[in-house]
Chains A and B, each alone.
Chain A
Amino acid sequence: MEVGFPELLPAATQSVRLCRVRPDEKVVVYTDTSTDAAIPEAWYAACVVEGCDVVLIRGQAREVETDPPLPAIAAMTEADVVFDIPSVDDGYAPSLPAILASGTRVLQILLPRESVIERAPDPENSWRADASELLMKDANEIRIVTPEGTDLRATLAKDRPLDVARGYVREAGEWDSYGTDLIAVSPIEGSVHGTIVFNGPLILFPQFTFSPRAPIRVEVVEGRITEMAVNDEDGRKLEWWFAQWDDPNAYVFSHIGWGLDPRADLSVYELTAWESYDGGVMVAFGSNTSGALRGEVQSQAHMDGILLGASLWLDDLQVIEGGAFTDASGLRPRSRSTGSAR
């Protein structure tokens, strides 16, 4: 189905309502010149439908994780809510923490048109995010294992927030990304230790997004990649991607967590779906200073890797076994099967 403005508007309207945008709130829709214009126009119209005196701001397309122009930052800082609709990820842009600190809540929308509709926030699934948050907040240690050889441990910091992505924002200073349904946390960076074998989708902005044909093994010591087994073209891509930043922080562990959206389909090229893949374990390197994570690693680099078929423990509780949530976790989806809703 070809999706246009009329199809996008109901999804945008639902999003605005889930964000509890009030008519008296100051709303900014931010976008750039490379974004599909129908999406920001749909959010703009949705805000108008809800009675808001909304402002649409368009900047030039930028590099990944870079700030918009200063006047746009000023407008966002002044706003109550920002619908941020860029063409590339800016969730780790340096200006974002200050914008959030001003009380602005920010919802990033970084999906193609079809996914905006097909993977709108699902209130029927949101209990799993709540349950995940309860599990994670009391845990001290996280461990992941995969059949290919992943075996990684990390200590969780009690003073860092949990990034519970539901796809909408309600609280002042909150950040979220539409279409993401996951939980993530930045552990104490120096505590991360072990082996990761990437066997699923890799999101290497801005150049590469692919699933490696053969697993790629990296060694992590005290939170930093110290060794990478480069055996093929995909491995060389990964190695080159890290090296291009010329930034030691690119190699530092960023966050860890799991996906919760049974509708997410890995066969569809849609990055938030990859991150949200139900039972997928996400590990990331590079920046983790976003408002939702509040880690200590500042870098222009940020990558995400999804481990498939992984097992995950929080302390002694096994949450995921072979890519599926355990009964003990209480996170098995109700009356839905994994895979695409298409």
Chain B
Amino acid sequence: MDIGFQALLPAAVRTVDLCKVRPDERVVVYADSRRSAALPEAFYAACVARGCDAILVRSLVQLVATDPPRSAVAAMREADIVFDMVPVPWSDYAPAINEILASGTRVLAVPVSDQSFVDRPPDPDVLWRVDVAEELFAHSTEMHVTSPEGTDLWAHLREGVLDPGRGFVWKPGQWDSCGVISITTASHIEEEMRGTVYFNGPMILLPEYEFVTSRPIKVQIEAGRIVEIEADHPEAQLFTRWMQGWDDEVYLISHLGLGLDPRARVDIHRDPPFLHDTEWESINGAVVLGFGTKTESMADEVRQSRGHLDAVVLGATVVMDGRTIVEQGSFTEESGLGSGGR
């Protein structure tokens, strides 16, 4: 739905302010030809309102996780901050993102629909949850995930970079995605992870598929790698085929984390070409597993794969270092994340 420039501007201004954009900073607003003009124009206007000499860069639609044209990459490398409005994400996993971030540019992806941007803008009532979760992950060494379907997964959490998703960026070289409110760990996560997972919720298999599985999909993980998929129903078979279409690295765990946004829902309205991924990865209390590509913004190390998937386990129980953090999909009081607001 076209909700218009005026409705988008306040949330764009709030986001620009959270990103601490200064008038002397070099700002690029990037969009592709699939994105309607209203949201890029709202961000552009928000930057101009804050005194920035911003430029708007528009390219043709690229394949998912594919670099923009080199001229656009050059502009982004030269920028202090990029607001990336491309509907189908590239900047989370495309090769050029590492060189852009390495140049000191901070990048905020805004791959959400106009309606979703207005519905779930960065909000202090939610953002405190990321701080609490970050503290929790920083001081935990082990995560145990179970679910009524039979999930029983162990992961050793190494000390390293955490990837808290707040939906704004304020430090050089930082990347985040507007609409993703979550906590994720990726550093060396593949080294000690084992067990069984039943994916029973959203499956994000870019670029082709995005669905909520009607029956759980069972996978076996050893040493951080999917070693078996039980292809016992059509969605599990589709998942198997999708995995086979990439390289060996796509079977390796990329990241593990928890959704933190009470506003995020499973049953959101489909608004093509926008994906559900940012909202699904943010579902409060959901366990999110990613496989395949891993970027610098997520971890201490980089892994290139041609594929990346995100899968969500709903209704799970999560125990970290003996403390129950999530019980059947809801944060416990003990976690400090039990209340919806502050």
Contact = CB atoms under 8 A, between A and B. Distances in A.
Contact of A26 (B58, B71, B79): B71
B74 interface: yes
A77 B79 CA distance: 14
B26 A71 contact: yes
B167 to A, nearest CB: 23
B74 A75 contact: yes
B55 A55 contact: no
A48 interface: yes
A74 B57 contact: no
B69 A71 contact: no
B59 interface: yes
Given A69-B26, A70-B26, A71-B79, A56 B74 contact: no
A73 B53 CA distance: 13
A26 B58 CA distance: 14
Interface in A4-43: 26-28
A331 to B, nearest CB: 39
A56 B58 contact: yes
B74 A77 contact: yes
Contacts of B68: 55
B53 A54 contact: no
A74 B70 CA distance: 10
A57 B29 CA distance: 9
A75 B72 contact: yes
B58 to A, nearest CB: 4
Query: Which of B48, B58, B74 lies at the interface centre, i.e. has the most chain A CB atoms within 10 A of its CB?
Result: B74
B28 interface: yes
B1 interface: no
Interface in A62-78: 68-78
A89 to B, nearest CB: 19
Interface in B33-76: 48, 53-60, 68-76
Dominant SS among interface residues on chain A: mixed
A71 B71 contact: no
A54 B69 contact: yes
B55 A59 contact: yes
Interface residues of A, number: 24
B257 to A, nearest CB: 32
A75 B124 CA distance: 36
A177 B265 CA distance: 54
B70 A26 contact: yes
B77 interface: yes
Nearest to A72: B55
Given A78-B70, A78-B71, A71 B59 contact: no
Query: Which of A27, A75, A76 lies at the interface centre, i.e. has the most chain B CB atoms within 10 A of its CB?
Result: A75
A79 interface: yes
A58 interface: yes
B56 A58 contact: yes
A69 B54 CA distance: 7
A53 interface: yes
A226 interface: no
A16 B287 CA distance: 52
B78 interface: yes
A231 interface: no
Contacts of B58: 55-58
B78 A71 contact: yes
Query: Which of A68, A70, A74 lies at the interface centre, i.e. has the most chain B CB atoms within 10 A of its CB?
Result: A74
A271 B71 CA distance: 31
A337 interface: no
A80 to B, nearest CB: 9
Contacts of A48: 60
Contacts of A71: 26-28, 55, 57, 74-76, 78-79
Interface in B1-33: 26-28
Given A70-B26, A78-B74, A57 B69 contact: no
Given A58-B57, A60-B48, 14 more contacts: A53-B60, A54-B69, A55-B59, A55-B75, A57-B75, A58-B58, A59-B54, A60-B53, A70-B26, A71-B28, A74-B75, A74-B78, A77-B74, A78-B71
Interface of B: 26-28, 48, 53-60, 68-79
Which are the 5 A-B pairs with shortest beta-carbon distances?
A78-B74, A74-B78, A75-B75, A71-B75, A75-B71
Interface of A: 26-28, 48, 53-60, 68-79
